[in-house]
Chain A
Amino acid sequence: MKLLTKTNIYSSVATIILFIIGIFVVFNFIFMKFDSEQDEQLLSAKKIIIESLKKGKTPEQFSSNIGEIISIKKINAQTSALNYFKEYEIQKGEDYTKIRELNFQCLINETAYSISVSISLSQDKKIGEYIFAIVALYLFISLFILFLLNRYISSHIFSPFYDTLSKIKKWNIKKNEPLIFKKTHIDEFNLINTTVQELTQQIKTDYKNLKEFTENVSHESQTPLSIISSKVELLMQGTNYNEKQQEYLQQIFQSTQRIYKLNQVLILMSRIENKQFLASEPIHLQHAIQQKINELEDFISAKQITISTEFKTQNKKYINPILFDILLNNLMINAIKYNLDQDGKIIIRLDEHTLTIENTSNIGKIEKKFLFERFTKSSTSSSLGVGLSLIKKIIEAFNWQITYSHKYNIHTFKIYL
């Protein structure tokens, strides 16, 4: 959930709650005020009635004032001097009208009266409805303004933040592009930006150092490796070795060869990463694949592998020929090396947009975490698993994509050209 959506939800909920409380408070307050005013009105009516009676007005002479209904009855004796207020509803057609009534007794010129004064409260109900409508409208307007405000905030105030986010997301350490963020007047965003910039700078420096270190190690070990290799070769020319010594020599030699091969791949990979294979030329994919099959004919026939091909395009791709050759070589060698010992199959399909290489194999599915990772070995092979990561490097360099799937003992590598 977006930060703003989240805060919006909170502020909207808070606004609604506040308004409900507000409406409640306002209603109560207003009606309390109404009640007291009405009571005052009734009491002042009482005063006037008493005054009038004292002046000699007869009860029959009292008519209803505006909004006031007065009824005066003579009684035998005054039993109470208190004011009784009561509220009740009367039905007038379909409408109910609320009535507030004051009952009191008084003794004027030796005559006891029981008097009731009542007023209709129908006006109050209308006023209540008005208030509710106004408050509801106000609530709606407030929410709308809140919504507009948030949109403004997200598009203007938060835009540097989202800009930063998208730039961080796109950032690739290998591309060596500097991170430049939008200028902003908000301290927190500036802090994020400078922190991220410092952080990526640090990562970049570390990455560069590490990369240079690996490259240097690979390069610098070339000469000592050459020396070891040639010395062992010369040592092997000797004839007076016993079996043990010969075995030692063989092991030294083979280990040297392994480091040397590994070194070559590492150097190749760093060269690809450093974009040292830029020269591209149009490559006829079908020809290249067929040529590769011919080159590997010895190994294919040694394992009696059947190769079937399906070419649906004569297209040429504009790519680096050396890298494409290495790519094909690695894909094909894997397909041969890990194939069945007999009656194996390799199927190669090429169309406009994909190149698929399938091979039969006894080896189970390669786990995703091992796939294309440097130096993961398949359990049945002693060779260093740099082949697949080299394939991935080249695929990346070409801006292609590769997928792997495994079904019924068939491994499929599909390249999206």
Chain B
Amino acid sequence: MKILIIEDEKSLLEDIKHYLTENGYNCDYSTTVKSALNKLAEYKYTVALIDLDLPDGSGLEIISYIKNNFPEMGIIITTAANSLEDKLNGLKMGADDYLTKPFHLSELNARIYSLIRRRNFSGKNALVFDGLEIDTTEKKVISNGVALQFTKKEYDILVFLASNPTHLITKEALAENIWGDKAEMATTFDFVYSQIKNLKRKLNEVGLKDYIKVVYGLGYKFKN
């Protein structure tokens, strides 16, 4: 799956590229509106990640170009915290999702995964691991033919972790993914911790040990 990253901040671009490549995506990039339009005319992409604030214009131009020429392409916009109007305009023009800078790379990855899943680009709607299958259409978790019972929060955490396999997910990123703005509450991390504990216990019960690894102080890792 090919992703076009349009971002003028080279350092940030590098990180996104690095993280997404590690997660199995084929990444291409542009730093200007002009080069992005050239790239789009030449190659075919599954998802475009568009920074709205570019040196030679607005990312909104790129959105309208994509919508006119490749309506099936997924679009995620990234904006600075102060440009709420741009974000709303972007969504109105047909962007599928947005992220406010600075964002967690794991969150970006999860959003791309969820966008691809929603659009059913790959034809499958499940995250499949050794002895564990997460059906994201039905919102079901199946282990060796047995459906596991999770609460909604536990399920959300599992999907977020599973869509970033082998990566360290900080507890901040996890909390934000689940509670958004409300994540700043002092009790959030305790809450995440107890949810993870339940999740691990339930996985352990069906013999799925060591799927979720706790990295002390930092966060969690989903390991196959």
Contact = CB atoms under 8 A, between A and B. Distances in A.
Interface in A293-344: 295-296, 298-299, 302-303, 322, 329, 333, 336-337
B9 interface: yes
B170 interface: yes
Contacts of A230: 12, 15-16, 19, 102, 105
B133 interface: no
Contacts of B102: 222, 225-226, 229-230, 260
Interface stretch (A116-124, A176-184, A196-204, A233-241): A233-241
Interface in B177-203: 179, 181-182, 184-188, 190-191
B19 A222 contact: no
B182 A299 contact: yes
Interface in B54-85: 80-82, 84-85
Interface string B185-224: 1111011000000000000000000000001111100000
Contact of A246 (B12, B103, B187, B218): B218
Interface residues of A, number: 44
Nearest to B153: A298
A200 B16 CA distance: 48
A397 interface: no
A250 interface: yes
Interface residues of B, number: 40
A209 interface: no
B139 interface: no
Contacts of B182: 295-296, 299, 329, 333
B18 interface: yes
A267 B82 CA distance: 6
Interface string A211-250: 0000000110011011101110110110000010011011
Given A233-B104, A246-B218, A219 B82 contact: yes
A416 to B, nearest CB: 26
B106 interface: yes
B101 interface: yes
B144 interface: no
Nearest to A218: B82
A381 interface: yes
A223 B81 CA distance: 10
Given A233-B170, A296-B182, A246 B153 contact: no
Contacts of B84: 271, 276, 322
A227 B15 contact: yes
A257 B18 CA distance: 21
Given A219-B80, A264-B81, A234 B15 contact: yes
B11 interface: yes
Nearest to A237: B168
Contact of B191 (A246, A250, A299, A322): A299
A236 B170 CA distance: 9
A257 B191 CA distance: 19
Contacts of B28: none
Interface in B145-190: 153, 167-168, 170, 172-173, 179, 181-182, 184-188, 190
Contact of A223 (B101, B104, B153): B101
A253 interface: yes
A233 B82 CA distance: 23
A226 B81 contact: no
Contacts of A234: 15, 18-19, 105
Most buried by A among B82, B170, B172: B82
A302 B187 CA distance: 8
Interface in A332-386: 333, 336-337, 381-383
A124 B168 CA distance: 118
Contacts of B104: 229, 233
Which 5 pairs, one residue from A and one from B, show the smallest C-beta to C-beta distance? Answer: A226-B102, A230-B15, A229-B102, A227-B11, A226-B101
13 contacts: A223-B80, A225-B102, A226-B102, A227-B15, A230-B16, A233-B168, A236-B170, A246-B215, A298-B179, A329-B181, A329-B182, A333-B185, A383-B184
Given A230-B16, A233-B15, A336-B185, 12 more contacts: A229-B104, A230-B102, A230-B105, A231-B15, A233-B106, A236-B219, A246-B216, A264-B81, A295-B182, A298-B153, A298-B179, A299-B182
